Structures are given as C-alpha cells and as structure tokens.
Amino acid sequence: MVEAKGNMRVVILTPYKRLLDLSGVTELYLPIENGIIGVLPGHAPMVSAVGTGVVVYTQNNVSGFFKVAGGVAEITGASVTLLVDVGEDASQIDVERAKSSLERAENRLIAKASEHIDIKRAEASKLRAIARLEAAELHMGKNSQDKKSL
C-alpha cells in the first residue's frame, strides 16, 4: 500500500495477533533501547530494538497510545512495523491491575537483600507496569480533553 505524501502506515504485531494496522499516520514516537525515537513520514530507513514504554501515534490530529515491551522496529520512509514481544492498547489497560503489578515488583526489589530474588526480572516487571500506567494515563487524559472540546 502506497501512502499519501506526508503520511505513514503503522503496524504493531505480537507473536499472537495484529494490534494495529493504521494508514494516514503523521507522526510516531516509540521506545528504543536507549530512549525514545520520533518518526515522521520520509524518515531514513532503519531497524532498531524496541524498548519497554509507550508508543504514541497521531492520525488526523488525534493521538493513540500502546504499551510495548521488547521486539524490533523496521522503519522506512512510508511505514513503521513494530514486531513486539508484548503490546497492549492503552484503552484496554486495567489500571488497578497495573498498579498491583508495580507494587509487587517494587516489593520484590526492596526484599532483594533478604530473599533470593531475580533482580533483572523484577526490574523488567517494574518497567512494564510503569509503561502500562503511563499509556493508560495518556489515553485517559486524551479522552478527557476530547470530551472538553465537545
């Protein structure tokens, strides 16, 4: 599919399902291993490891949000494909469950001296929980702004 000038196609896939396949995207921000990268139509081709965090995209001046963790991103001038280990639409995130996950991870990290804790696993769990909460917060903030503009 050829995109109109100034637009991109964004696809987010997990091993189990296609989470997003959207044309007409004008900008995208995604987490990579050492930070966040912004992608606009016409971006130089590249491949990058995907980090844990929030994907933010804009289509028709409306933003959308996904929580992702791990995987690879392929960027061309006309498309971005994210093959991620884990992904979740921000609108589907259970905030209370994410808060509980964050609390469990933090408690495991606090208890690391007294118990045999896999620290890297607990830190990764904490990062995923934080990303879920950030994505949900961005989504809820967007919805309250949409309602104010009506």
CATH (domain of 142): 1.20.5.440
What is residue 113's three-state secondary structure? helix
Q: Are 15 and 39 members of one domain?
A: yes
- Residues 36-93: pLDDT tens digits? 999 999 999 999 999 999 999 999 999 999 999 999 999 998 999 999 999 999 888 8
Q: Are 138 and 78 members of one domain?
A: no
Q: Are 84 and 14 members of one domain?
A: yes
pLDDT over 50 (residue 140): yes
3 lies in some domain: no
Confidence of residue 139 (pLDDT cuts 50, 70, 90): confident
1 lies in some domain: no
The share of the chain scoring above pLDDT 90, in percent, equals 53
**Predicted local distance difference test score (pLDDT) of residue 9:** 97
Q: Are 72 and 16 members of one domain?
A: yes
Q: Are 84 and 31 members of one domain?
A: yes
pTM for the model stands at 0.75
**Cβ-Cβ contacts under 8 Å for 6 (sequence gap 6 or more):** 26, 41
Q: Are 76 and 63 members of one domain?
A: yes
The CATH number for 48's domain is 2.60.15.10
Q: Are 18 and 54 members of one domain?
A: yes
Confidence of residue 119 (pLDDT cuts 50, 70, 90): confident
Q: Hey, how many other C-beta atoms are within 10 angstroms of the C-beta on 39?
A: 22
**Predicted local distance difference test score (pLDDT) of residue 115:** 64
Average pLDDT over residues 20-45: 95
Residue carrying the six token digits 């990290």: 109
**Predicted local distance difference test score (pLDDT) of residue 148:** 37
pLDDT over 80 (residue 117): no
Q: Are 79 and 104 members of one domain?
A: no
**Predicted local distance difference test score (pLDDT) of residue 149:** 35
Confidence of residue 22 (pLDDT cuts 50, 70, 90): very high
Output the average pLDDT for the chain. 86
CA 80 to chain centre: 13
2 lies in some domain: no
Q: Are 85 and 16 members of one domain?
A: yes
Q: Are 143 and 109 members of one domain?
A: yes
Q: What are phi and psi of 128, to 5 degrees?
A: -65, -40
Q: Hey, how many other C-beta atoms are within 10 angstroms of the C-beta on 62?
A: 9
**Do the Cβ atoms of 79 and 44 come closer than 8 Å?**
no
Compute the Cα dihedral for 127, 128, 131, 133 and give only its sign: negative
Q: Are 71 and 110 members of one domain?
A: no
Range of the domain at 116: 93-148
**Predicted local distance difference test score (pLDDT) of residue 109:** 78
Compute the Cα dihedral for 38, 8, 50, 88 and give only its sign: positive
Q: Give me the number of domains the chain comprises.
A: 2
